[in-house]
Amino acid sequence: MTKLHVIYVDDDQLMLKATARMFRRIRPQWTMTLVDDPLKWEENLSTEPSLIISDLLMPRLNGDKLLGQVRQRYPYAIRCLITGNTNQDVPDTISNYAHFILPKPFTEGDFSAILDSAERLHLPPFNADCLAKISDTCEHIPVLPKVVKKIQSITRNKDSDLKSLADVVREEPALAARVIQLANSAYLGFQSSTVFLEVAISRLGSVIVEAVAVCMLGHKSFIKIGVKEHDHVVEEFLSIAKSAKSLAKKAGLDSEEQESVFIMTLLISIGALTLSEAGSGNGLCFGQQNLCESYDDVIIITVYVLTLWGYSKKITDSMLNISFSFTNLNQDEITNSVSLALAMHIAKAGGEEEFNKFLESIPKQYNDSVKEVLTLN
């Protein structure tokens, strides 16, 4: 059983006591250190912390500065910032010191989600060596865009309607335009056109809309990557996702599984962008296993970020099956479709000779499907 040490820093005594009670209910086997003076957060630590949660606005030392200290002294620890106003209080440079923010007041479910993420990031493949390499490589870990949080809140509310979701998407005109464009794509199986956002969302489904939002709005969490470079990467992955969906269809997967393939492929752009931000990106980083043995760097970073963002273990476990090794391609058709689409994209960029080598390396039953999808592009 995983037992972690959590530090919670807040000058509000009532918040400290209420959170401590909540913590004991959710994770009674873990230990929590409560600190009411931000200047003394590191005093009397008997074990290295796995998760540090800090309020933002405190006397003498604000939470952003405190988490900056944490990052220097305990780089492997997960860092969470609590704020009562997510629209105004949070500095633009949050990704320099915090992995995510927690709005105040937060629910037991909100708190539990953070603890779940911390626990999953201390299970294989995230051993101490892997976490150390991720910390050394990636100075900036993107935070989940605010609009995506709104979309998630709406889609998880059974009483929400299509108009509410459309209104949130309209807050980002570029996102709304892309959703309509995808809903008119014959490549995704839509034969008639529409100019109405509500219809477009209904066609694509809220899960795909959320995935598109995650990728398109990620540029707000990066510092070194410009909007033009960010959009180029997103465009690439949208193209690859369409190819992956077509391969999934040719493999006989049902519509729900095809949707999963499309979403997984699109979400990998987050890992590629994070590595590019760190200056360690090389293509799609496939074949590079510098961060964790037997997993490609772009996959391990994607899983790391999505786990921090609270994505399900089902999605992240599926992503860990995506590999550039084609010896086991007949084991899982969903991840095979993603692997083939990514590899096809890289091979195609390398020219005819490189693409022919790729075709020779995969099981022959996939050759015709890959060639057919390639012609559609």
Q: Express each pLDDT in 61-114 by its tens digit.
A: 999 899 999 988 888 888 999 987 655 445 455 656 788 788 888 889 889 999
**Average pLDDT of the chain?**
86
Helix H, strand E, coil C: the string for the chain is: CCCCEEEEECCCHHHHHHHHHHHHHHCCCCEEEEECCHHHCCCCCCCCCCEEEEECCCCCCCHHHHHHHHHHHCCCCEEEEEECCCCCCCCCCHHHCCCEEEECCCCHHHHHHHHHHHHHCCCCCCCHHHHHHHHHHCCCCCCCCHHHHHHHHHHCCCCCCHHHHHHHHCCCHHHHHHHHHHHCCHHHCCCCCCCCHHHHHHHHCHHHHHHHHHHHCHHHHCCCCCHHHHHHHHHHHHHHHHHHHHHHHHCCCCHHHHHHHHHHHHHHHHHHHHHHHCCCCCCCCCCCCCCECCECHHHHHHHHHHHHCCCCHHHHHHHCCCCCCHHHCCCCHHHHHHHHHHHHHHHHHCCHHHHHHHHHHCCHHHHHHHHHHHHHC
Where does the pLDDT of residue 185 fall: very low under 50, low under 70, confident under 90, or very high at 90 and above? confident
Q: Which CATH number fits domain 5-123: 3.40.50.720, 3.40.50.2300, 3.30.930.10, 1.20.1530.20?
A: 3.40.50.2300
Provide the residue ranges of all domains of the chain, joining segments of one domain with +: 5-123, 146-376
Per-residue model confidence as pLDDT tens digits over 231-271: 888 999 999 999 999 999 988 999 999 999 999 999 999 99
pTM: 0.88
Does the structure show a pLDDT above 70 at 140? yes
Question: What is the homologous superfamily of the domain 146-376 according to CATH?
Answer: Hypothetical protein af1432 (1.10.3210.10)
pLDDT tens digit sequence for 31-58: 999 999 999 999 878 788 999 999 999 9
Residue 14: is its pLDDT beyond 80? yes
